[in-house]
Amino acid sequence: MTSQDRAPNIWSRLPIALRAIISGLLIALVSANVWPLLLLNLGMPLAAIAEAIFLALYVWWTGGGGPPRTTQAARATAFRRGRLSPRQWGWGLVAAPSFAITIHASLVLLFRIVPFPMAAFRQGYAFSFIPSLPLRWIAVVVSAVSAGICEETGFRGYMQRPIEQRHGAPVAILISSLFFTTLHLTKGWAMAGMVPIVFGAGVLLGLLAWSSGTLVFGMIGHVVMDIGLFAYWWTGIAGTFTARPITETGVDRSFLIASAVFATSLFFVLLAISKLRQKSPSTG
C-alpha cells in the first residue's frame, strides 16, 4: 500500500464530527484570509476584482463543481445546494435582514450598559492606507462579502451539515457555534459582553441554515451584518458610537427604542426560522 492509499484511509477512519470540524475550519479560515493578502499586496481596486474572481471560483468548487469527481456529491451536500421555493425565498429574505438588525441592536444595548471600547474595536481594522472614502466603502463591502460567504460555507456548511446528518441539529449547531465564537473572540475587540452576542449570532445562523436547507440566507444576513460592523463599529467610516452608558444617563428613550428593535427583529428571525422549518428539504 502506498502513502497515497493510506492517507484516504486515515481520513475516513476519523470520526465524522472531527472530519467536519477540520474541513469546516480549513474551508472557512484559508479562504477568508485570501482577501487581506490581496488587499495588502495589490491595493484597491485591483484586489477587489481579484477577490470577486476568487469568490466565484470558491462558491463553484465548494458547491460541488470541479475536480475531484469523487467528492462532488459530498461537497454539494455540505454546501446545502438545492432549489428554493418562492415561500422559502420569502421567509429567508425576512430572516436575513432581521438577523443583521438583531445583532446590531444587541451591540447598541451592550454599549449602553458598558462604555464602548472604541480603541479596541478599531485595532487592526484601519483602512487609512486606502486613498479615498469611496474605495474604503468598496473595501468594507468586499470584506463583508468575503467573510459572509467563506464563514457560512465553512461553519454552517462543511462543519455543521455532516454533524447534523450523524448526530442531529442541536449537537451540530452547538459545535459550529462554539468554534465560530472561539474564532472571533481571538480578536482585539473580544470582551466578556461580546461572548453571548457572537455565540447567539452563530446559533441563529446555524438555525437558519438548518431550517431553510440552504446557506444563501445566512450568507445574506452575515454580509449585511458585517457591512455594518466594518463600516460603523470597526473602521468608523460610517460614524462613531457616542452614546453614554445608562449608568450615567438613566434608562432613556434611545435605550428603550434599541430594546424594542432588538425584541422585534429577534421575533421575526425566529418566526422566519419556524416557517422555513415547516417546508425545508433538509428537515423532512
Distance CA 149, CA 55 (A): 8
**Does 166 map to a domain?**
yes
Averaged pLDDT of the chain? 93
Distance CA 154, CA 27 (A): 5
Domain span including residue 100 = 13-279
Crossing angle (nearest 10°) for helices 160-167 and 16-32: 170
**Which amino acid, residue 26?**
L
**Does 7 map to a domain?**
no
Reported as a single tens digit per residue, the pLDDT across 153-168 is 999 999 999 999 999 9
Provide the phi-psi class of 250: left if phi over 0, else alpha when psi is between -120 and 50, else beta: left
Cβ neighbors of 198 (< 8 A, separation 6 or more) are 180, 181, 184, 185
The alpha carbon dihedral of 196, 202, 203, 204 has a sign of positive
CA 36 from centroid of its chain's CA atoms:
17
Cell of 265: 427583529
Distance CA 67, CA 62 (A): 11
**Does 186 map to a domain?**
yes
Crossing angle (nearest 10°) for helices 160-167 and 194-212: 70
**Does 1 map to a domain?**
no
Asked if 44 and 130 count as a contact pair (C-beta separation under 8 A), the reply is yes
Query: pLDDT of the chain along its 284 residues, tens only?
Result: 555 555 568 888 899 999 999 999 999 999 999 999 999 999 999 999 999 999 999 999 999 999 999 999 999 999 999 999 999 999 999 999 999 999 999 999 999 999 999 999 988 887 888 989 999 999 999 999 999 999 999 999 999 999 999 999 999 999 999 999 999 988 888 899 999 999 999 999 999 999 999 999 999 999 999 999 999 999 999 999 999 999 999 999 999 999 999 999 999 999 999 999 986 554 44
**Does 6 map to a domain?**
no
**Does 92 map to a domain?**
yes
Number of domains in the chain: 1
Distance CA 284, CA 280 (A): 7
**Does 4 map to a domain?**
no
Distance CA 107, CA 83 (A): 34
Distance CA 239, CA 132 (A): 16
| b/e map 179-210, b = 16+ CB within 10 Å | bbbebbeebebeeeebeebbbbbbbbbbbbbb
Cα dist from 264 to 91, 101, 259, whole Å = 16, 9, 9
